[in-house]
Amino acid sequence: MRTRKKASLSLSFHFILLFILLLAATSFFRPAEAQNPKQEIISLPHRLSVEIINKWELDPLLEQRGRSYFLVSSEKLSQLKQVFPSLRVETANFPHLFKPRVSPTSKANPLTQGGLNGAYHSYSETAAELKKMASSHPQIARLYILGQSLENRNVYGLKISKNPGLVEDEPGLALIGGHHAREWISVEVPLLIAQHLVDNYSSNQSIRNIIDRAAIWVIPLVNPDGLDYSIFNYRLWRKNRRLNPDGSFGVDLNRNYSFQWGCDNQGSSPNPSSDTYRGSAPLSEPETLAVSQLFQEHNFAAAISYHSYSQTILYPWSYADQPTEDEALLQWLAEQMSRLIFQVHGREYHPGRSSSSLYLSNGDFADWVYGLFKIPAFTVELPPVDFLSGGFFNPENDLRSIVEENLPAVLFLAEWVVDNYPPANHPAKIKERLEDQGKNLVKKKSKLLTGKEWP
Amino acid sequence: MNYGRQVRVLFIFFITYLLFIPNVLKAQLSPEQYLEESPLGSWNNFGADSAPSLGAGLRQIVLLNSGASLLGNPAALAAGSSGSVLDFSFRFQQARLYKFWMVNTGVLSTTGNLNCLTAGLSYAGFSGRIKGWTLAGAYAQTENYSRPQIDYSLSRDGLLYEQLLLSQTGRQEVYAVGLARSLGRRLSFGLTLAVLNGYLRRNFVEILWVDNVNLKDVRNQKISGRYLVFGLLYQFNEKLALGWSLIPPYTRKFQGTSLSAFYSEETQVEIPGAGNDRVRMPLITGLGAFYKISAALDISAEAIYFGWKSYTFNYFGETLERNFKNILRLSSGLSYKSTFRFLRKQWEAPYYAGIMIDPQPMTDVRSTYYYLTFGSGMGNADFLLILSTAIGLEKGSGHNLTNQKVCLSLQLRPALLNKFIGCRKQK
């Protein structure tokens, strides 16, 4: 009896042991996950001709630090390696490109697409969207890295143009967002407008006309470090992530541009802990420097900088309450854009001179663009209209309508830019004028573009 | 050693300990250490906290005669002399932090370090021997994610303008079962399956009293996962033993929900979020040596490798960069056991001392904790009660951070368990 009991105990024990081992073993095996057809990202230390790109069915992605990046199917990889010995496989460096924003197995609320920031884009999500646009529309979109932030995030610029890899004699329109970290909507508007432009190039005649004759530069996120800090740490963070000498953090990027920088302490602050700290010097921040270099290297004819909140369309000057010499044109353009915006969803964006409509600010982007390049530059303050209506918070279901209403204003300004190019101070125009009038070259300070639609 | 001398030694030990506390608490912790998911005190967590382990320089791989070796090196369960035992350990942890979340990173600044104190059951487990096999099961709290709570108010002229409240709590618990067996006279092996459970909660509320606006940022995450611990112990002779332990890389899952909200009299904006994240934990492996100098005195040395370079962290769908390096944690400990007679019983009084060098995995700042550990206790054939402390001073971050643990362990020994079981049988 006792022996049988012992045997039974021993048997039970072995079953328990077997069960534990099986449990342990199975816990480390998982079924393989289904994957999309495999693609790889490669880079080469030189540009390729269009023929070679077409021959190998390469999708140009971006250019960075002297290397050109392409999307290729993995089947062609081995052949390409033989043809281009200097080829590097870079897929591992682009982890977000092939990764869906939401896991397919996610049981999350469908309204919440992207984690803490919901439907809004973080830095990595913005980068992934831009790369996707560039890779899916290589004929009209190319992604450039304009510079890097303090924490080594890229400041991206998407060039949308007929030949995005070429420097052509065409006017540029800059759509720039995300100067201030907490203004999440200011990233969405230029990003989703870019998406609309590339998606509708082939089907929309007016968009095709613009892209064929102009270069739209979309820089949706000037302050990537600040945005991620706003998402992960403190929602109302505004500045970049500079560690200041006094131990405080951040420079207000929209007070750091080099026109009338720090001309007084009302429009910006010399105090590092202030929300409007202008930095230690004009263009002291790598983020503003990246924007500055882009403007110096390319031929821009107009620019819009998106911010929130207050529903206004502001034009220079911002540093002082006085009109520019082109007040009438700027006001007219702002009014036209305001009218077009209102027509979409009935939301009113008040047009006006920045200094008198909002508050004084110096070293800001729009003053810098107008002051240095003498081209129309606007600050569009997106909804809501005031702080109590949400301030820097926009409901996710408002996002689409805000983008929709801003689209006609962008198209209008782009068409105006195209119609008024080349400007009066363009060498071709000057030559033409000289030939017509037989006069000597008049060395005059460059003037604003003037056009037939300007009354 | 007689009882009077025993008491004197204990008294001196506790006086020394108390004198040491104020000096320790002046210090601090490293800034980059306290990321969203950083465990309080150190990234390098291995095994479970128990007083015998803590006192002897966090001895984990060659920790004999303690059920807590289930999570450090299960093979040690089979090698010790104890039969069936029950172990309970309580831990008090005090860490000093400087930078974390929005504190000293741009939003709120402090003049010095902030203190975070946690307490709770760190280990409760049993182990028993059946026909050459040692079976063990345990519950352990292996990581704590608490941060100092902040309640900040901004007032001017007696009027309250703004208030910020932030809190973070969380812990990782482990439910483990394991078995061990001696293979011959020298070699023992052990295997443990550990199932993870835990949570991480972050709450932030900002109230702008003048505008009557309320901002919220609430994040809740549930932690789950499982991992294996393999262990070997080889006894060269009665004096020398070597141990090896391995935790293969495993995935820790975080299922989270969040709410970022703005409430005013005019509107309510809510941005709900969700994330099913997978965090790849690194390989951990270690070697330990145990040498019995005499019947009463032994020494141990351990080196534990943490492959943090392969660690990846996802947070609500975002891969956040954790530029970590691999780490080798080194420790050494002494234990001395004295015996005496008291109340007609044979008593034992172990003493522990140890050191540990615990580098942190961050690459942008070289941060290392240097630990001194002490412990002592008393017991007989029925039980063993031990109190130990580990005092960690940090160098490298510039903030002189600290991490201090106190552990109280009670081991109920075979004699008492047999009595208890015997009583029940009689009834």
- The pLDDT value given to residue A100: 35
Q: State how far the Cα of A308 lies from the Cα of A185, in Å rounded to an integer.
A: 7
pLDDT, position A60: 63
**In which band, very low, low, confident or very high, does the pLDDT at A31 lie, cut at 50, 70 and 90?**
very low
**What mean pLDDT is predicted for residues A223-243?**
96
Could you give the C-alpha distances from B149 to B117, B192, B385, in angstroms and in order? 10, 36, 33
Q: Which residue has the tokens 């004999």?
A: B64
Comparison of pLDDT for A279 and A439, the residue scoring more: A279
How many CB atoms are closer than 10 A to CB B424? 8
DSSP assignment letter at B270: E
Mean pLDDT for the stretch of residues A401-409: 97
Q: Is A394 on the interface with B (CB under 8 A)?
A: yes
**Would you state the pLDDT for residue B58?**
95
- Computed over every residue of chain A, the mean pLDDT equals 83
Angle, CA of A121, A268 and A446, to the nearest 5°: 85
Are A13 and B264 inside 8 Å of each other by CB? no
Q: Which residues of chain B neighbour A10 with C-beta distances below 8 Å?
A: 131
Q: What was the pLDDT predicted at B21?
A: 41
Which of A96-100, A157-161, A169-173, A346-350 shows the lowest mean pLDDT across its residues? A96-100
Q: Is the Cβ pair B217, A235 closer than 8 Å?
A: yes
Closest CA–CA distance from residue B190 to any residue of chain A (Å): 12
Per the CB < 8 Å rule, is B109 touching A10? no
The answer to whether B290 and B243 have CB atoms below 8 angstroms apart is yes
Q: Residue written as tokens 């965090």?
A: B279
Residues of B in contact with A26 (CB under 8 A): none
* Per-residue pLDDT, A44: 82
- Mean pLDDT of the region B226-240: 95
Structural contact between residues B379 and B347, judged by C-beta atoms closer than 8 angstroms: yes
For residue B321, what pLDDT is reported? 83
Q: Give the pLDDT mean for A427-451.
A: 49
Contact (CB<8Å) B258/A102: no
Has residue A400 got a pLDDT over 50?
A: yes
Q: How confident is the model at residue B261 (pLDDT cuts 50, 70, 90)?
A: very high
What pLDDT sits at residue A430?
A: 60
Q: Which A-chain residues 307-346 have CB contacts (< 8 A) with chain B?
A: none
**Chain A contact for B263 (CB, 8 A cutoff):** no
| pLDDT tier at B11, thresholds 50, 70, 90 | low
Mean pLDDT, residues A84-102: 62
pLDDT at residue B421, rounded to an integer: 54
Percentage above 70 pLDDT, chain B? 89
Residue type, B45: N
Cα separation of B231 and B73, whole Å? 5
Asked if A233 and B211 come within 8 Å (Cβ–Cβ), the reply is no
| Long-range contact pairs involving A160-168 (C-beta distance under 8 Å, separation at least 24) | A160/A194, A160/A197, A160/A198, A160/A211, A160/A215, A160/A216, A160/A217, A160/A218, A161/A211, A161/A214, A161/A215, A161/A216, A162/A211, A162/A212, A162/A213, A164/A139, A164/A140, A164/A215, A165/A47, A165/A60, A167/A298, A168/A215
- Beta bridge partners, A302, equal A173
User: In which band, very low, low, confident or very high, does the pLDDT at A433 lie, cut at 50, 70 and 90?
Assistant: low
The SS3 assignment for A61 reads strand
Nearest residue on chain A to B193, judged by CA atoms? Answer: A24
pLDDT over 80 (residue A124)? yes
Structure tokens at A49: 């001709």
Q: Is the pLDDT of residue A301 over 90?
A: yes
Tell me what the mean pLDDT of segment A422-446 comes to.
56
What is the structure's pLDDT at A3? Answer: 46
A3 touches B at CB < 8 Å: no
Instruction: Find residues 31-50 of chain B whose CB sits inside 8 Å of chain A.
Output: 36
Give residue A434's pLDDT band: very low, low, confident or very high (50, 70, 90): low
H-assigned helices in A374-422? 399-419
pLDDT at B30 over 90: no
**Residues B126-150 pLDDT 10s:** 998 888 899 999 999 999 999 999 9
What per-residue confidence (pLDDT) applies to B316? 94
Least confident of A114-118, A258-262, B114-118: A114-118
Q: Cβ–Cβ of B264/A248 closer than 8 Å?
A: no
Per residue in B137-190, pLDDT (tens digit) is 999 999 999 999 999 999 988 889 999 999 999 999 999 999 999 998 899 999
pLDDT tens figures, A130-144: 999 999 999 999 999
Peptide bond into A384 cis (omega under 30): yes
3-state SS class at A23: helix
> Band of the pLDDT at A391, cuts 50, 70, 90?
very high
Query: What single letter denotes the amino acid at residue B48?
Result: A
> In this model, does residue B326 exceed pLDDT 70?
yes
CB A232 to CB B269 under 8 A? no
Which of B36, B101, B274 is the closest to A108 by Cβ?
A: B274
**Average confidence (pLDDT) over B289-304:** 96
Lowest model confidence (mean pLDDT) among A9-23, A400-414, B405-419: A9-23
Tell whether ipTM is more than 0.90.
no
Q: What is the CA radius of gyration of chain B?
A: 24
Among chain B residues, CA nearest to A100: B317
| A15/B contact by beta carbon, under 8 A | no
Kindly list the residues from chain B whose CB atom is less than 8 angstroms away from the CB atom of residue A22.
Answer: none
pLDDT of residue B33: 87
Confidence at residue B208, expressed as pLDDT on a 0 to 100 scale: 94
Cα–Cα dist A213/B72, whole Å: 69
A100 touches chain B (CB under 8 A): no
pLDDT of A442: 38
CB contact under 8 A, B262 and A393: yes
**Average pLDDT score over residue span A239-260:** 95
Based on C-alpha coordinates, what's the Rg of chain A? 27
- Quick one: average pLDDT of A421-430? 67
Least confident of A322-336, A351-365, B91-105, B385-399: A351-365
In this predicted structure, what is the pLDDT of residue A220?
Answer: 98
- Asked whether the whole model's pTM tops 0.90, one would answer no
Res. A11: pLDDT tops 50: no
pLDDT band at B82, cuts 50/70/90? low
Q: State yes or no: cis peptide before A138, omega within 30 of 0.
A: no
Nearest-CB residue to A235 (from B260, B264, B318): B260
- What is the mean pLDDT of the segment spanning A98-111? 35
Contacts of B62 (CB under 8 A, 6+ apart): B73, B76, B233, B241, B242, B243, B288, B289, B290, B300, B302
Statement: residue A166 has pLDDT above 70: yes
* Chain A contact present for B111, CB below 8 A: no
User: Would you say residue A2 has pLDDT above 60?
Assistant: no
B317:A101 CB<8 A = yes
| Confidence category of residue B14, pLDDT binned at 50, 70, 90 | low
> What's the CA gap between A323 and A330, in Å, rounded?
10
pLDDT, one tens digit per residue, over A335-349 is 999 999 999 999 999
Residue A448 confidence (pLDDT): 40
Q: CB atoms < 10 A from the CB of B396, how many?
A: 17
Q: pLDDT > 70: what percent of chain A? A: 76
**Residue B131 confidence (pLDDT):** 83
* Gap between the Cα atoms of B61 and B64, Å rounded: 9
Size of interface A-B (CB pairs under 8 A): 131
Test the A interface: residue of B260, B266, B312, B363 with most A CBs within 10 Å: B260
**A27 reaches B (C-beta below 8 A):** yes
- A381 included as an active-site residue: yes
Lowest mean pLDDT segment, chosen from A436-450, B49-63, B244-258: A436-450
Considering chain B, what is the average pLDDT of its residues?
89
Catalytic, out of A129, A183, A188, A381: A381
**B261 contact residues in A (CB cutoff 8 A):** 393
